[in-house]
Amino acid sequence: MSFPRRVTVLATCILALGVSGCQLITEHMCSDGEYPTYALDNPDGAYCEKDGRQPEPGFAAYPEKRVPQVVGDKYDRWPLAEDYPWRDEVDPALRK
């Protein structure tokens, strides 16, 4: 394969990845041995806590089956938002 053709093929592949929204790198929410928490009073507040430890005051753990694993997955949202599909699992006032 000639050099110009290789460049064209490579550029086409890069463009296809960019247009399709494919990610080459998956960004995990937390490192091994940690779990994500969210702020109770701030939709942007969050941090990773070490496994086996309780979250700091003002923070909470996600519901057991709704823990986000990677940035942007369906659970990577503030659980106290009005439109959070599983809000009844985190808001004591909505629990049955």
Chain centroid to Cα 5, Å, comes to 39
Order of strands across the sheet with 46-50? 46-50, 34-39, 59-61
pTM, two decimal places: 0.69
Over the stretch 14-63, which tens digit does the pLDDT of each residue have?
666 665 555 567 899 999 999 999 999 999 999 999 999 999 999 999 98
Q: From start to end of 1-96, where are the E strands? A: 34-39, 46-50, 59-61
pLDDT of residue 15: 66
Distance of alpha carbon 38 from alpha carbon 86, whole angstroms: 15
Which is it for the CA torsion 40, 54, 72, 29, positive or negative? positive
Q: Is the pLDDT of residue 95 over 60?
A: no
Q: Is the pLDDT of residue 91 over 80?
A: no
